[in-house]
Structure 1
Amino acid sequence: MVKNKTSSARSSRLWKLFLSTLYISSFTFGGGFVIVTFMKKKFVDELHWIDEQEMLDMTALAQSSPGAIAVNAAILVGWQVEGLVGMTVAVLGTIIPPMIILSVISVFYNAFAANHYIALLLKGMQAGVAAVILDVVFDLGGKVLKTRSWVYIALMAAAFVANTVFDVNVVVVILAAAAFGVVRTLNQWKKRGAK
């Protein structure tokens, strides 16, 4: 009887995970950062399956890993929530809507490309996407500022300046920040080991 309840609870959680990622992916335009924002609101704020620090770490991993940010984030969230099965369910929920939408668009591409109303719709969506990305920036940047670590704040500022002022490729910025984090962590481990 207990096994059936556990199995039923897991099935319910997997179904909710699938529907949540399907819904988020269906109604989110503008790329991975927008989807990550909605995932945070759903899985951290609403369902409390993941805490804020885990979501911040997952966002960094999703951004720095090869592939689409949305799929990478779905892999990490699904794994954290329900292991391998959760990862599979979350990825399916995330990739089904774009596959269907892009399949339809590819069939009618010429009609979409020449349509004045579609062009206006996309312009309006760009403004909304910019607002959501700003929300992500303030949210993640605020968390870095809350650490009160001058090292992380300086690293964040340096990454911003490198990308916006000196036009350094985002991949180089991310790899440099990751290398800095690894070196700093190894130095901290050595100091603890020496004590």
Structure 2
Amino acid sequence: MILGSRTIYLLFCNSLRKEANMDNGMKACNRAKMLFKLFLSTLYISAFTFGGGFVIITFMKRKFVDELHWLEEEEMLDLAALAQSSPGAIAVNAAILVGWRLAGPVGMAIAVLGTILPPMIILSVISFFYAAFACNQYVALVLKGMQAGVAAVILDVVCGLGRNVLKEKSFMNIAILVLAFVATFFLNLNVIYIILAAAVIGIFKELHRHRKECRQ
């Protein structure tokens, strides 16, 4: 009887271990698939994005928010703001933040690798054949055509981010949006000062909201 009970207990424990190992194996497999997809996504976005960090943020939003649903739109908006306000290239900053948010340090490293590989390879080739590219009129025409396309994509970014701000129907956010545009477009004020001022206003706004909620 005791031996039978012990046998049943051992079989039960072994089955639990097997299930746990299977769960861990499935989690590891799913994580590996997710990291591979993250690498391919950032590699594809970086390889086919021309025009700088503002453009790459648009493609990241479409990929990670609209297509894969890995991030919420508000999250992507916050990450974009952080990427723009941090020193360094916006594209790399965005890759760092998105990768860290999705999969921690490993995701960050993979996203950055996927982002920097295409321009590194392309610029290496261009620098090797620089003289031929610089004098080629067809290359110059292609670049001019790209400038128009990039302007359209950046306009799409502005409209998308502005629409999200207007959706909240917050007088403070709309006022910051208008004042930031005036300061940048008409007064030619440095963007860093505008971002810092908006950050300070945002902190005080959140503190005021938190105190108001605590009183209630």
Task: Note the aligned Cα RMSD (angstroms).
Answer: 1.2
2:66 corresponds to which of 35, 45, 65: 45
Percentage of pairs with the same residue: 65
Following superposition, the deviation at residue 145 of structure 1 comes to 0.4
**Is 1:20 equivalent to 2:41 in the alignment?**
yes
Unaligned runs of 5+ in 1: none
State the match for 2:178 in structure 1: 157
Q: Which moved more, 1:104-113 or 1:88-97?
A: 104-113
Q: Which runs of 4+ in 1 moved over 6 A?
A: none
Deviation track 1:145-170 (CA, whole Å, cap 9, x = no partner) reads 00100110010000000000111111
Partner Cα distance (1:178, 1:118) in 2: 42
Following superposition, the deviation at residue 186 of structure 1 comes to 2.6
Partner Cα distance (1:144, 1:62) in 2: 18
**Is 1:92 equivalent to 2:113 in the alignment?**
yes
* SS of the residue 2:35 aligns to: helix
Partner Cα distance (2:68, 2:213) in 1: 37
State the match for 2:166 in structure 1: 145
Partner Cα distance (2:127, 2:87) in 1: 25
**Is 1:131 equivalent to 2:158 in the alignment?**
no
TM-score (norm 1): 0.95
State the match for 1:116 in structure 2: 137
Unaligned runs of 5+ in 2: 1-21
Following superposition, the deviation at residue 13 of structure 1 comes to 0.5
Partner Cα distance (1:120, 1:103) in 2: 21
State the match for 1:71 in structure 2: 92
* SS of the residue 2:71 aligns to: coil
**Is 1:55 equivalent to 2:76 in the alignment?**
yes
Equivalent AA in structure 1 for residue 102 of structure 2: V
